[in-house]
């Protein structure tokens, strides 16, 4: 039968296992559309576990700048 929806990263393990034997074979590159689906699942898991809506970052701001701003907000004593 089909695997039930899981609340962890089992879907990534199942995908890898469906592509190769991860203990014997090199793990293949994950296609972009599969990575997008994994990202959607992680967002859904976050929302299920926390009960909060996931807040997407502004893609026009460099990752380094977003991380720096978040750290400065949460740990102002270091900035």
Q: Which two tokens stand for residue 34?
A: 């599969």
Give alpha helix (H) positions in 1-79: 10-19, 32-50, 63-74
Q: Which two tokens stand for residue 3?
A: 């695997």
Locate the domains of the chain by residue range: 10-78
Segment holding 33, helix H or strand E? helix 32-50
What string of pLDDT tens digits covers the 79 residues of the chain? 666 666 667 888 899 999 999 999 999 999 999 999 999 999 999 999 999 999 999 999 999 999 999 999 999 999 9
Count the alpha carbons within 13 Å of 51 in the hemisphere toward its beta carbon. Answer: 0
Supply the pTM of this predicted model: 0.61
């Amino acid at each position: 039968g089909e695997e039930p929806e899981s609340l962890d990263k089992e879907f990534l393990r199942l995908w890898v296992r469906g592509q190769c034997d991860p203990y014997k074979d090199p793990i293949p590159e994950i296609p972009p559309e599969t990575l997008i689906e994994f990202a959607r699942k992680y967002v859904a898991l976050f929302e299920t576990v926390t009960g909060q809506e996931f807040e997407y970052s502004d893609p026009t701001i460099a990752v380094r700048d977003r991380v720096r701003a978040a750290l400065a907000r949460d740990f102002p004593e270091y900035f």
